[in-house]
Amino acid sequence: MTGLDKLNIFQKSGNEYIEFNNNNIGWKLIDFWKWSVSDLLSNTTRGTFAEFIVATAMDIDLTKVREEWDAYDLETKDGIKIEIKTSAYLQTWYQKNFSNITFSIKSAYSWNAQTNESLDIKTRPSDVYVFCLLKHKDKMTVNPMDLNQWVFYIVSTKKINELYGDQVSLSLSVLEKICDSVNYDKIKEKIIEEYSQKN
């Protein structure tokens, strides 16, 4: 292994100490996690949390560290490549109105995390899109960890390519015309169903 090879990242427990001059400074990794990702309503953290939700529904091996920069977000043990997009009515900051619900479907020059190479053309490299909507509308009771506050719209990438071509986003009203929402317990069934239609 050279200094530029791809690292194998192993899961940490959170109990690891942060060090300076070979001495721990009194803070652990868990302290960083609590500080940085406790706000599950923030757009970035909500997106990562939605990936985790879908991964649990699909029985994906969660002992493997999430690959942040791969061409798609998740891959099942059966090889189904999944792209996760999220939206929510509520944000952490003050709002005069609920946020508009839109989801990105933008194609991109896909990058392979294993080879560090990009494709020369823009594509949507997943097999299936899962659009995750945190549907709850009361800031006093919103709780992203309550999966009853979410709904999921699941569409094959083939269908998105056929219907929307180079379009970069979908509104909720458009999405509802092509598929019904499902709850957490139906995610796996619906992903498999949509995947079966990819050819």
Domain range for 143 is 39-195
Q: Residue 65 pLDDT more than 80?
A: yes
**What confidence score (pLDDT) does residue 161 get?**
95
Has residue 68 been placed in a domain? yes
Q: Is residue 5's pLDDT more than 90?
A: no
Say if residues 74 and 188 touch (Cβ distance below 8 Å).
no
For residue 8, what pLDDT is reported?
74
pLDDT confidence tier of residue 13, bands split at 50, 70 and 90: very high
Per-residue confidence (pLDDT) for residue 139, from 0 to 100: 96
| Strand intervals (E) in 124-193 | 128-134, 150-156, 169-171, 181-182
What is the average pLDDT across 83-87? 98
* 144 occurs within a structural domain: yes
pLDDT for the residue numbered 68: 83
Residue count (the chain)? 199
Structure tokens at 174: 């458009």
Tokens of 56: 């649990």
| Residue 70 pLDDT | 82
Task: Report pLDDT digits (tens) over 20-43.
Answer: 999 999 999 999 999 999 999 999
- Residues 89-133: pLDDT tens digits? 999 999 999 999 999 999 887 666 666 666 667 789 999 999 999
The answer to whether residues 52 and 40 touch, using CB atoms and an 8 Å cutoff, is: no
* Cα–Cα distance for residue pair 38/15, rounded to 1 Å: 17
Task: Report pLDDT for 7.
Answer: 66
pLDDT band for 9, please (50, 70, 90 cuts): confident
DSSP tag of 61: -
Output the CA angle 115-124-40, nearest 5 degrees: 90
Average pLDDT, the chain: 92
Residue 114 sits in a domain whose CATH number is: 3.40.210
Domains of the chain: total: 1
Q: Give the up-direction half-sphere exposure of residue 145: CA atoms within 13 A in the CB hemisphere.
A: 3
The answer to whether position 186 is within a domain reads: yes
Asked if the structure places residue 18 within a domain, the reply is no
- Residue pair 153/131 in contact by the 8 Å Cβ criterion: yes
Specify the pLDDT at position 169: 96
Q: Is residue 152 part of a domain?
A: yes
